[in-house]
Amino acid sequence: MGGKGKGKGHNNASTERTYFYADVAAVRIQDWLGRTPGLIFRRGASALLSKATDPEQWDGRLPPKVRWNPEAGQVDGVVSLAADEDIGEADAPKVLEEAARQVARRMRELMPHCSIQAVAGEGPSYAQAYAGMTARRQDGDYLLDWPSAPPEVILAKPCDACLLAAATVLKVKVTRDDTFDLCGECDARLDAAGRTSATSARLVPAPERRLRDALRDIGMPVRDFSDTFAELAEAGRREEDHASPSQVALIYADGNRVGAFLTKAASAKNGPPKSEIAPAIEQAAIGALAQAVKSRFPGRDEPPVLPHLAGGDDLLISVPAADAWPFTVTLLGEFDRLIREKTDTWAKELRASPPSLSAGLIFHHKTYPFSDVVRLAGEQLLKAKGFTSGREASVAFLDVTADGGQPPDGRKPLTLTYLRDNADRLSRTKALSASRRATLLDFARREDGKEDFIKRLTDLPKNDPLWEFAAGPKAVGPKAAEYLENVRKTLHDSDEKYAELRRALDIARHWEGEGR
């Protein structure tokens, strides 16, 4: 647990101890991972992050007078500390501040270009201290706040990988045919990734270890995951593909209202053990990810998945574009199921409002700059969470190849409920000929194309699934003409319905049903 103090009590229980905590965290991790374009460097960065913040790496190496805080669970990029129990209330803050500096210095040695922040908190448990720690982050009340090393004014040759620092390690073999001049961090990333030799040692990033363990627990042992975006794209090949697939997708998922849930759970009468609260959310997230992998790629010992981050309620995963929609739907739905399962014995008021998961989904070419993809995914994630105020699982998406860097005006995020309710309609939209969908989208993308869109939509037969988005189930017989007139009128009068049809066509570009 944490450090022992006199305590102010909790729920008027004056005898309850106060414990003291500090979280030392690598922040803006997604941007840091995307600092280099090559996947081997990003995988190495993920391995360095694990080395810097994994509990096993700190065994026997923590500063004096503190211990690892097991109540926080395992979150990528966070070293969670608790002051020893024999540290008095007056001394605990100083002990934690010095310990945070020592931990941050080691993290900075391994990751010189990653920002690091530390915040302290106290309470009868970590879950109860969490709300105060979140408030301190929002107020900028940090134990330390170390930004990344600033971009250098490079008078010598810049690093061939990141282009942001001077090259200090020259002629490093990155592939069989290429040698790079690298900065110190990029060289360390390459080293952690195992360089190019099949016999060279490599660090396995914690997200891969956790996902492999979770898959084994549900009966799907795996040997490895995809190594390149090219492999991911190729894994999305379908029988009807005439050219080699080139599209992949990045899913950035994060929990909704997690902080409020932790605080409520820790304060509830007859609530769960404090040490189980944060881990329950982490286990639901990694369990949902494993179920999505198993559901979409059953029986594969090398599933086409790249887990960049997987810790706490924070997930960053790449999959083939053709698998992204069913993978995301399963991920969000399984998190809902697992969090309810794990809290099944908790107090009724907690089970009434468990956290959910939202996601930003980016479709992109396999060669598109990963740093840009991560940034766009973060933007879409914020839109998804804001759409429901975090009260329901949701997803916002962007297809960079078709949309560019911004979604079209009027495109709203989607709730998990909407995707499930309209799955069959979206599958039937996908089944329309590609040329028909392309023609309709061409009209929709034109500022003056609405009339042509409506005419083409209603003049041609068998556009049933799109008609249904506008006017509900298709009418037949004598009512058919009246039904189509209603479709026309609805689309003329409602910009929202028109945008919904455009969105359905955009989704259909990569939509797949549950089967493959």
Return the pLDDT at 4. 38
- Whether 56 maps to a domain, the answer reads yes
Do 319 and 210 belong to one domain? yes
**Which tokens in the block code for residue 513?**
């049903």
Do 390 and 455 belong to one domain? no
* Tens digits of residue pLDDT in 325-344: 999 999 999 999 999 999 88
- Whether 230 maps to a domain, the answer reads yes
Q: What is the DSSP string of 342-359?
A: HTTTS-HHHHTS--EEEE
In a 13 Å sphere around the CA of 208, the CA atoms on its Cβ side amount to 25
- Whether 157 maps to a domain, the answer reads no
Domain count, the chain: 3
* Bridge partners, residue 359, by sequence: 253, 395
- Cα–Cα distances in Å, from 297 out to 87, 290, 292, 294, 423? 51, 10, 8, 5, 19
User: How far, in Å, CA of 40 to CA of 29, rounded?
Assistant: 17
Return the pLDDT at 177. 79
**Torsion angle of the four alpha carbons 168, 146, 37, 384, in this order, in degrees rounded to the nearest 10:** 180
Q: The domain containing residue 438 runs over which residues?
A: 429-508
Do 77 and 107 belong to one domain? yes
Mention every residue, 6+ apart, whose C-beta is less than 8 A from residue 155: 166
Do 240 and 387 belong to one domain? yes
Q: Is 358 exposed, middle or buried (0-12, 13-18, 19+ CB in 10 A)?
A: buried
Q: What is the pTM of this model?
A: 0.85
3-class SS of residue 91: coil
Return the pLDDT at 216. 96
Closest to 259 measured CA to CA, from 416, 135, 83: 135
CB neighbourhood size of 298 (10 A): 10
Do 367 and 235 belong to one domain? yes
Do 113 and 243 belong to one domain? no
Q: 């944490």: which residue's tokens?
A: 2
Do 378 and 260 belong to one domain? yes
User: Are the C-beta atoms of residues 420 and 514 closer than 8 Å to each other?
Assistant: no
Return the pLDDT at 8. 39
In 124-227, which ranges are continuous DSSP H helix?
A: 126-139, 184-193, 206-217
Do 223 and 331 belong to one domain? yes
Residues of the chain with pLDDT under 50: 1-14, 197-200
